[in-house]
Amino acid sequence: MLKTKTKYDPLLALLLMALAVIACGKPAPRSFGVSSFAFAPDGKRVVFANGEGATDDLYLMNTDGSNLTQLTRTEAQEDAPVFSPDGLRVAYISRPTNADKYQLFVMNSDGSGARSLTVGETDVRTPAFAPDGKHLIYTANPEDMSVTHEQGDQIFITTVEGGNTRQLTKNSYQNGNPVFSPDGSLVAFKRALTHRGRSMGGYTWDDWDIYVMNFDGTNERRLTNKEFNYTSIPRFTPDGQRIVFSADLSLYNIDSKGTRSLKSFATDLYFVDLRRPGELGKLSDNASAPPVDSSDNKPVSSQPTLSPDGARIAFICDRANAYDYEICAMNSDGSNLRVLTRTGSYNSTPDFAPDGNSILFRYDMERDNTFELWRVEADGTNARRLIGEMK
């Protein structure tokens, strides 16, 4: 039998590639920059937003880095994915490329059935599921921020099925990062009281503290009274009695003309007991690892996250080398501090797996705000990259 030789046609090849993209949506990128991630409740999967390129899509993979699946293929920027407690749905925010405001979406965990839960000029941020899986809480700005920039973000709650949205806070302050207590009866959040106006990074707010309110927005109360420069996401302990967070507190020298100059800067881990509001504890006072001299500044301890049993806290720190932010962990009373990673760069947003045996975190080797997703065991062994930039 004679064999015929097929001539390569570059135009035909390009046509076939175009048809493949049309059929399948945008092709998966070769490199990933992870802007946010979240564990599935079973701890076997992780959903993340890819921050590389003009648009950001959502992906799902196993926590060992295998079985990568693209969930969204849209011409929009998608971020802040979070699983429902039963693992069947993913909530996230999405912004079309020709728009400047995010809306709240929910879809099935396989990427099907995506639908919007908000409309209009809202600019949604930081969605979080209630423990019952039927409600989502988030922040949004009810005003047109491009005009005034004076109305702070407010806290809203909506049903996952849509159609029943309520505004829980109504004030002129900046409210952020609402989270539910383990039983769903309370919402903790942070609030800034002072609007400083425009800075190099945009419009800024100062004088942050931690607040709590009932699920329906009633009985709001202030838990701290320190007016921090900034605070992290508040984290409830598993028993719902305490809230752990990190905060920046700067000390200034003020001359006779009233000019302020920075004297020292510190980011520490704190806790507050809901039964004793106003009594602030500092976890890093008990930290056992020696601090590292960072010029006139104190060591950094930031972005705390609790293990599922509440026994351990993971966070970023510069205990190994000044200005290298590694993943650290310690007991929840501040004892037995250990540096888990030695990457020599910038690590961010650690999160315990649901079984407490490992920690996922973002790693920025080049310090260019392009993060890879890494995993390390809770005892500090076997740190490895799951997904990131192609080398």
Residue of higher predicted confidence among 279 and 131 = 131
- Tell me if 124 is assigned to some domain: no
Enter the pTM of the model. Answer: 0.85
Estimate to the nearest angstrom the gap between the alpha carbon of 302 and the chain centroid. 13
Whether residue 277 is predicted with pLDDT greater than 90 in this model: the reply is no
- Tell me if 346 is assigned to some domain: yes
> Backbone phi, then psi, for 17, in 5-degree steps?
-65, -40
Boundary residue ending a domain (116, 136, 151) = 116
Residue of higher predicted confidence among 294 and 50 = 50
Residue 142's pLDDT is 77
- Report the domain count for the chain: 2
Whether residue 97 is predicted with pLDDT greater than 60 in this model: the reply is yes
- Tell me if 38 is assigned to some domain: yes
Provide the token pair at 224: 């701290």
- Check residue 365 and report its DSSP letter: T
Specify whether the CB–CB gap between 140 and 158 falls below 8 A. Answer: no
Report the DSSP beta bridge partners of residue 195: 205
- Count CB-CB contacts under 10 A for residue 179: 17
- Tell me if 174 is assigned to some domain: no
Boundary residue ending a domain (116, 132, 151) = 116
- Tell me if 203 is assigned to some domain: no
Cα 178 from Cα 195, distance rounded (Å): 20
**Same domain assignment for residues 378 and 262:** yes
pLDDT tens sequence across 112-165: 999 999 987 678 999 999 999 999 999 998 765 444 456 789 999 999 998 789
Q: How large is the average pLDDT for residues 173-201?
A: 88
**Same domain assignment for residues 106 and 228:** no
- Tell me if 207 is assigned to some domain: no
- Tell me if 360 is assigned to some domain: yes
- Taking Cα atoms as reference points, which of 137, 153, 30 lies closest to residue 101? 153
Run of H or E including 330: strand 324-331
Whether residue 309 is predicted with pLDDT greater than 70 in this model: the reply is yes
Boundary residue ending a domain (116, 147, 180) = 116
- Burial (CB < 10 A; 0-12, 13-18, 19+), residue 73, is middle
Provide the token pair at 168: 């829980």
How confident is residue 196, by pLDDT bands cut at 50, 70 and 90?
confident
Q: Can you give the residue range of the structural domain that contains 325?
A: 223-391
How confident is residue 23, by pLDDT bands cut at 50, 70 and 90?
very low
- Tell me if 344 is assigned to some domain: yes
Residue of higher predicted confidence among 278 and 337 = 337
DSSP codes, 298-319 = PPBEEEEEE-TTSSEEEEEEEE
**Same domain assignment for residues 256 and 110:** no
Q: How large is the average pLDDT for residues 184-209?
A: 82
Q: What is the CATH number of the domain that holds 229?
A: 2.120.10.30
Q: What is the mean pLDDT of the chain?
A: 83
Rounded (5°) CA angle 193-35-373: 130
User: In the chain, what percentage of residues exceed pLDDT 70?
Assistant: 76
Cα 167 from Cα 156, distance rounded (Å): 4
Q: In a 3-state reduction of DSSP, which class is residue 22?
A: helix
Cα 345 from Cα 107, distance rounded (Å): 35
Report the DSSP beta bridge partners of residue 103: 94
Specify whether the CB–CB gap between 178 and 190 falls below 8 A. Answer: no
Whether residue 11 is predicted with pLDDT greater than 70 in this model: the reply is no
Specify whether the CB–CB gap between 329 and 378 falls below 8 A. Answer: yes
**Same domain assignment for residues 112 and 232:** no
**Same domain assignment for residues 88 and 230:** no
Q: Which amino acid is at 140?
A: A
**142-156, 165-179, 183-197, 328-342: lowest mean pLDDT where?**
142-156
Q: Which amino acid is at 24?
A: C
- Check residue 3 and report its DSSP letter: P
Residues 6+ positions from 110 with CB-CB distance below 8 Å = 69, 71
- Taking Cα atoms as reference points, which of 360, 391, 353, 358 lies closest to residue 377? 358
